[in-house]
Chain A
C-alpha cells in the first residue's frame, strides 16, 4: 500500500458502497441473500485513505487513493491484466456491468480473494517464492507503448521524509534521519536515471497472497502472487529488494533468511544485482532505512508514544549511515 501522509484510518471511506459492489460482483443478481457473512467471508481487510479493501466471498473490492493518477492507474491495471504476468501478479477481475468505476472520488477495482502471509509466523513466510516472483516480474519483457509510469519507490521515500519533517520536526532523532537522507544523491532517487525494468515499487510481505481459485495443481508451482499495483512501474529493480536488504543491514532480518531471499532471486535470474549485490543495493537500502525510520518518527509522534525497540534499531542504522546520531 502507499505510505505517505495519508495512512491514518480514512474518514468517509466508501465502505457501504464497496460492500455493495463486492456483494454484487460475488453473486449473480436476483439470488437470495447469501450466507457469506455467516461463514465469516465478508469483512473490511484494510481501511486507509491509500487503500480500502472489502472482501465478499471469493472476491475483494479495492478503493484506491483519492489522488490516484487516472492515466497511470489505467496503465498499471492493464499491465496486471496481461496474460504474460498472470503467474506473477494477481489478475484483476472485470467490474460487474453498470458498476461505478469510482466511489467517493476513488478508483475501484475488483480482485480474487487470496489468503495473505500469516504475520504471526514470519518463519513460514515464502521468502524464496517472493524472490522468485520479483525476479520474474523484473524479467518481464515489455513492448513499447504500455504507457507505464515510473515505479514509485524512490518517490515514497521522499514523501516519508516530507511527512516526518511536517509531523515530527522537533523529535530529537529527526536530524539523524535527515542526515542519513542527505547521504543519498538526489539524482539516484530520481526516476529516469535508472534501468527501466518492470518493478513492483512497494514490496513487503503484505504484498503476497495465495491463489485459491482456480485451485492450483498439487504438483504445479506454488500459488503465491504479488498484489497491489499502485506503485508499480518502470525503474531500477534493486528498489524491490531494498526493504529486506535494509532489514538485514539493520541487523533485524537474520542473515540466513536474507541469504535465502537473495539466493532465490539470483537463482531465478533476477537482474537487479550482480555478483556483488551491494553495489546496486546500497543506495536503495539506505533510502528504505530512512523511509522506515521517518515513518516511525511521524507515526510515533502522532500517536504520542515512544519508539519501539525495532524502530530504535532503524534510527541507529540511520546514525551509522550518517556517521552520527542525534536524540
Chain B
C-alpha cells in the first residue's frame, strides 16, 4: 500500500489489537474504519486505570493559593502564617 500523501510505502503495525498503517516516508498514519474508535476506547481505559502521579518527594502538593481580597496581606501563597503559633493569635482564635 502506498501513502496517499507522499507515495512512499506504508507498513502495517499492530498496537494493542488495533491495526494501523504508517508511512515509511512521512510517518503519517492511516486508520481503517473503526480503528479510531478502538484507539479512543483504549485511551479512556488507560486514563481510568492510571494512578495519579505521585508528588515529587519532599514537595508540597500543588495547590493554588486561595483567593484573597485587594486589602489582604502581601505575600499570600508563599507565606505560611508566621504569626499562627504566636500566643496573641491563639487568644484571637478563641475569643470574640
Contacts and interface: CB of A to CB of B under 8 A. Distances in A.
Interface of A: 1-3, 7, 117, 119-120, 122, 125, 156, 202, 204-206, 247-259, 262, 276-278, 281-282, 285-286, 292, 295, 308-311, 313, 316-317, 320-321
A310 to B, nearest CB: 3
Contacts, number: 108
Contacts of A278: 67-69
A2 B71 contact: no
A309 B89 CA distance: 9
Contacts of B41: none
Given A249-B69, A249-B73, A257-B81, A311 B96 contact: no
B85 interface: yes
Nearest to A51: B96
Interface of B: 63, 65-69, 71-77, 79-81, 83-96
Contact of B83 (A204, A252, A277): A252
A286 B71 contact: yes
B96 A202 contact: yes
Contact of B65 (A2, A255, A309): A255
Contacts of A282: 69
Closest 7 CB pairs of A and B: A251-B73, A310-B88, A254-B81, A206-B94, A249-B72, A3-B96, A252-B83
Contacts of B80: 254-256
Contacts of B84: 122, 252-254, 257
Contacts of B96: 1-3, 7, 156, 202, 204, 295
Contact of A262 (B66, B88, B90): B66
Given A3-B96, A310-B89, 19 more contacts: A1-B96, A7-B96, A119-B93, A120-B90, A156-B96, A247-B92, A248-B66, A249-B69, A252-B83, A252-B89, A254-B84, A257-B84, A278-B69, A295-B96, A308-B88, A310-B83, A310-B92, A317-B71, A317-B73
B60 to A, nearest CB: 9
Contacts of A262: 66
Nearest to A256: B63
A156 B95 CA distance: 13
Contacts of A120: 90
A122 B90 contact: yes
Contact of B86 (A117, A156, A310, A317): A310
Contacts of B63: 256, 259
16 contacts: A122-B93, A204-B94, A204-B96, A206-B93, A206-B95, A248-B72, A249-B69, A249-B73, A251-B72, A251-B79, A254-B80, A255-B66, A257-B81, A278-B67, A278-B69, A281-B69
A313 B88 CA distance: 11
Given A202-B96, A204-B95, A309 B83 contact: yes
Residue among A3, A253, A255 with max Cβ neighbours from chain B (10 Å): A255
A320 to B, nearest CB: 4
Contact of B93 (A125, A202, A316): A125
A250 B89 CA distance: 11
Nearest to A160: B96
A255 B64 CA distance: 10
Contacts of A117: 94
B70 to A, nearest CB: 8
Contacts of A255: 65-66, 76-77, 79-81
Nearest to B77: A255
B74 to A, nearest CB: 8
A156 to B, nearest CB: 7
Contacts of B93: 119, 122, 125, 204-206, 247
B36 to A, nearest CB: 36
Nearest to B76: A255
Nearest to A125: B93
Contact of A276 (B67, B76, B87, B89): B67
